[in-house]
A and B are shown apart, each in its own frame.
Chain A
Amino acid sequence: MGLIQYGIEKAGIPTISITHLADLSEKVRIPRALHLRFPLGRSFGRAGEQDLQRKILLDAIYYLREMTVPETIIKLPYKWKGKHK
Chain B
Amino acid sequence: MVKPIFGEIPITKFTKPATEAVFALVTTAGVHLKTQPIFDVEAGDPSVRFIPSTAEENGLMISHTHFDRGDADRDINCVFPLFRLKELAKEGIIGGVAHTHYGLMGYTPNTSPLVDETIPLILKQLQEDKVDAVILNPG
Contact = CB atoms under 8 A, between A and B. Distances in A.
B18 A9 contact: no
A40 B135 contact: no
A43 B87 CA distance: 18
B18 to A, nearest CB: 5
Contacts, number: 185
A77 interface: no
Nearest to B7: A29
B136 interface: yes
A17 B10 CA distance: 14
A13 B12 contact: yes
Contacts of A68: 11, 13
Given A40-B67, A40-B68, A50-B77, A8 B134 contact: yes
Given A31-B10, A58-B93, 17 more contacts: A3-B3, A3-B119, A11-B123, A13-B131, A14-B11, A15-B133, A16-B133, A24-B2, A39-B67, A41-B68, A41-B69, A46-B71, A53-B78, A61-B133, A64-B14, A67-B11, A69-B11
Interface of A: 1-20, 24, 27-32, 39-48, 50, 53-54, 56-58, 60-61, 64-65, 67-71, 84
Interface of B: 2-5, 8-15, 18, 23, 26-29, 67-72, 74-75, 77-79, 81, 84-85, 87-88, 93-94, 104, 106, 111, 114-115, 118-119, 122-123, 126-127, 131-139
